[in-house]
Structure 1
Amino acid sequence: MNQQKQNGNLIAIITMFFLFAMISFVTNLAAPFGTIWKNQYAGANTLGMMGNMMNFLAYLFMGIPAGNMLVKIGYKKTALIAMAVGFFGLLTQYISSLVGADVSVFSMGEYTIKLNFIIYLLGAFICGFCVCMLNTVVNPMLNLLGGGGNKGNQLIQAGGALNSLSGTLTPLFVGVLIGSVTPQTAMSDVAPLLFIAMGVFIFTFIIISFVSIPEPHLRKGKVQKEQHPHSPWSFRHTVLGVIGIFIYVGIEIGIPGTLNFYLADSTEKGAGLLTDGAAIGGAIAAIYWLLMLVGRLASSVISGKVSSRVQLITVSIVAICFILIAIFTPKEVTVSMPGYSADNGFQMASVPLSALFLVLCGLCTSIMWGGIFNLAVEGLGKYTAQASGIFMMMVVGGGILPLIQQFISDSAGYMNSYWLIIAMLAYLLFYGLVGCKNVNKDIPVE
């Protein structure tokens, strides 16, 4: 009986790992796609990041409903619905490459917004609902299968490693497909990647349909809503952790997203790469996600012995140091990093040294999600599922904060926008040092 249970748990864990990879694949399409729209709108970084914003804005609306879905229909059906929604979101983004390029909708300052851009944003918003539901399924499930505590964090980090691998490949593929971005580059140039993504969703839907997944929170029959005297908001460390998740996702997306725009910008304001800037930017952004893979694999090995708190404190300090070095290093100081050329394929490219230190931050951000989530739900008991929905709402930070960063970069320059990242990292350091302590242990959670 125990052997059968262990086999069932193993299948469930593998399934959750695969879903973790899908989350990153869909999410990481937005930033490199943004370089296309940025150049169509005369280099407006803020408009280029709007697809990413719409992707994460969906979390604000879907976070709590996704948590409720776990209770009403279970993990498996929630995941299947997410797959279907993701397919239609990608299909909508593909449609933006076919219609609306000649139809003006409204003016925004000096820019005339076209219908195809609106359709693309709608597709990104729909995809956001998909990844929100998947995140709601994956994180508490892996924490549960690991038994909570350091072991639960260990599984989340292992799943996050596959998430990072998928995130590594996505901007790389987009960069290879579009090469040098010009005002004539369009979504049709990345249509093959959209078709592949839709095919993966169909394949995943079929696989999950046949996989048995434990349903610990599923309530059958008529559910009578329980009235509790407390909620996740009653726990100080959870409230501060919710803020931490909001900030962390902004950091994770903002660092490589802005770096991609910086390297793709051939003007004096950008890195000054005259050829294949988008391809080089995509390849180097891929290194950031690859280093997140390395960091998560390392964390999955040590998390059984090194606490989430110690890991969070350490990587916050190191990331602050990396960002400071990147800000103060002149862009004339260069280093060779793996890049891509449309003529010569993969080769070493000369880029500002700042890019190296920014991608090294991937080693630090890699373990932050699992650490914050693990610390914030520690000791919540029956309030854990409800807290998971709240955390998913706060992932909207991955849309809002990078958008603010792009607004800063438009007015003050790319590197100066990273002062926002430093401020956010300082908060995570505070959370690891002080904010994560549960001071509400008197609240019953059974």
Structure 2
Amino acid sequence: MANAPLNADAAEMGSVHQTGNFRFALMALTSLFFMWGFLTCLNDILIPYLKNMFELSYTQAMLVQFCFFGAYFIVSIPAGSLVGKIGYQKGIVTGLAIACAGCLLFYPSASYASYWMFLSAFFVLASGITILQVAANPYVSALGPAETASSRLTMTQAFNALGTTVAPFFGSYLILSNQPHEAASSAAESSIAAVHQASTVQVPYLMLAGALCVLAIIFFILKLPVLGISEQKTKQQKGTGSAWKYPHLVLGAVGIFVYVGAEVGIGSFLINFLTQPDIGGFTESQAAKYIAYYFGGAMVGRFIGALVMQKIAAGKVLAFNATCAVLLVAVAMLSEGTTAMWALLLVGLCNSIMFPTIFSLALTDLKQHTSQGSGVLCLAIVGGAIVPLLQGMLADTFGIQLAFVLPLVCYAFIAYYGLVGSKAKRPEAA
């Protein structure tokens, strides 16, 4: 699952590196990466769950991702300003507290069996995760020598991928396995069943709220360096020009938009896709476990890609992965059975290096505009809100299988960006 890049101020504040023994602090920070990967992946479990419970169309069900990833777009910039005022550590505590509140909101949402309350809970939860990402990414970089910052971030982000791999088993066992399999015979029974069905999410999210609360207490009492509080910059320090003058950045922002949209869109539809009789014929609980292959492939591919890109240009590796993704999605659309199933699951392996590679290519040669460019790319994560919603509309009209044409087009653009767009001519004076 994609991590939000650092915002403008946070990227610059991360250039201050501390010396000392921060092993326990880094272990605690690593748990944050695991938690927000875990929480984000649970959306893919809850989408079919809520779709069945409230008898939603695919478009309506995709409002889950619209509210969740829409929070990145709305909260990202205010989160950066907040962290700049209170620092990394207090920012992490704030993010954990808000995420905890979001988890707690699932309890009344389930009690009242209200879809709109669930959507509000998703937005609050994602707002907390956004603040966490803005604060935790640069904090990991700052807690130690500059020369090992990349290895620390790689390690912590690997645990983010681990969270997305473990979450499907948790959701399958505690949520989807408790769904009723028989339809209600009356409106009254349907209402009672909806409340009972909704209640099965209460215990899991209370458990998650408890874990987030414990983490918030730990980070509140930890004695860590006070980092991340920014100072007002003068006009001379800010420089002139704009990152928007760089075509490769603008195309990179589109690349981030379509990548996050495609990754989230495929993950959101996987369970419904695998439960189709002509694909896997699984129950939803069984299908949920296969999501681990999708995100687990991304985790494995991240390490493979890091080695490959030491020998081969990043743009070429990006284009290769995106082309493979296009072919795999096409196979999933045009075939049936295990061929279609495994073709779609293998797209996760192709996803592995896309986000960080697009991000790094887009920021190349921006010089004094790097911070602004980082902020632009951060906002582009809103693709995770827009693309799945459009895919839901296609699924309602043409069916799930044909709706994957939208992620296919997204990956085609990413292949173009790797080969051509990332090499777009830089402005002579910016």
What band does the TM-score fall into relative to the shorter chain? 0.7 to 0.9
For residue 201 of structure 1, what is the aligned residue in structure 2?
212
SS of residue in 1 equivalent to 2:105: helix
2:240 corresponds to which residue?
Answer: 229
Pairwise CA distance, 1:198? 1.0
What is the CA distance between 1:69 and its match in structure 2? Answer: 3.2
From 192, 196, 203, the equivalent of 2:203 is 192
Report deviation, 1:304.
4.5
- The answer on 1:289 being equivalent to 2:295 is yes
Partner of 1:121: 119
Contact 1:153 1:308 (8 Å CA) reproduced: no
Question: Contact 2:67/2:385 (CA < 8 Å) preserved in 1?
Answer: yes
Q: 2:75 aligns with which of 62, 82, 106?
A: 62
More helix by share: 2
The 5 A counterparts of 1:20-419 are: 20-42=33-55, 44-99=57-112, 101=113, 116-139=114-137, 156-177=153-174, 178-179=176-177, 181-182=179-180, 184=193, 186-209=197-220, 210=222, 212=224, 215=227, 218-220=229-231, 228-264=239-275, 271=279, 273=281, 277-329=283-335, 331=336, 333-334=337-338, 353-419=339-405
Task: Give the root-mean-square deviation of aligned CA atoms.
Answer: 3.1
SS at match of 1:97: helix
Contact conserved, 2:239 with 2:368, CA < 8 A, in 1?
no
1:62-85 residue CA offsets vs partner (Å, 9 max, x unmatched): 122223334333332222211111
Identity of aligned residues (%): 28
Distance 1:219 1:33, change over 3 A: same
Mapped partners of 1:43, 1:297: distance in 2:
39
The corresponding residue for 1:420 is 406
1:10 & 1:278 partners in 2: Cα distance?
A: 40
Whether the 8 Å contact between 2:54 and 2:115 is mirrored in structure 1 is no
Mapped partners of 2:248, 2:219: distance in 1: 35
Q: Are the counterparts in 1 of residues 19 and 145 from structure 2 also a CA contact under 8 Å?
A: no
Bigger drift between 231-240 and 68-77 goes to: 68-77
Residues of 2 paired with 1:40 and 1:418: CA distance? 24
Alpha-carbon separation, structure 2, partners of 1:213 and 1:238: 34
Distance apart, 1:229 and its partner CA: 1.9
CA distance in structure 1 between the aligned counterparts of 2:372 and 2:29, rounded to whole angstroms: 20
1:204-258: per-residue Cα shift (whole Å, max 9, x none)? 223333163684x6324x6657654223323222221111111111111111211
CA distance in 2, matches of 1:424, 1:96: 34
Q: Bigger shift: 240-249 or 4-13? A: 4-13
Q: CA deviation at 1:92?
A: 1.0
The residue that corresponds to 1:349 in the other structure is none
The unaligned stretches of length 5 or more in structure 1 are 102-115, 335-352
- List per-residue Cα deviations over 1:106-132 (Å, max 9, x = no partner): xxxxxxxxxx11111100011121222
Give the deviation of 1:294 after TM superposition: 1.1
Q: Which residue is equivalent to 1:348? A: none
Structure 2: give runs of 5+ residues left out of the alignment.
1-16, 184-192
Q: Distance in 2 between matches of 1:231 and 1:146?
A: 32
Distance 1:383 1:211 in 2: 34
**Cα distance between partner residues in 2 of 1:375 and 1:145:** 26
Residue 218 of structure 1 aligns to a residue whose secondary structure is coil
Distance change (3 Å), C-alpha of 1:223 and 1:27: same
Name the stretch that deviates more: 403-412 or 135-144.
135-144
> Is contact 1:259-1:285 (8 Å) kept?
yes
Q: Quick one: which amino acid aligns to residue 129 of structure 2?
A: V
The offset of 1:364, in angstroms, is 0.9
Aligned to 2:190: none
Aligned partners of 1:41 and 1:47 also within 8 Å: no
Indicate conservation of the 8 Å contact 2:280/2:341, yes or no: no
Whole-Å Cα distance in 2 between the matches of residues 306 and 20 of structure 1?
29
Residues in 2 aligned to 1:383 and 1:303: alpha-carbon distance in whole angstroms: 25
| 1:157-176 superposed Cα distances (whole Å, 9 cap, x missing partner) | 54332112111121221122
Q: CA deviation at 1:418?
A: 1.0
TM-score (norm 2): 0.82
Report the 3-state secondary structure (helix = DSSP H, G, I; strand = E; otherwise coil) of the residue aligned with 1:96.
Answer: helix
TM-score normalised according to structure 1 size: 0.79
Distance in 1 separating the partners of 2:98 and 2:238: 32
Tell me if the contact between 1:17 and 1:159 (Cα under 8 Å) persists in the aligned partners: yes
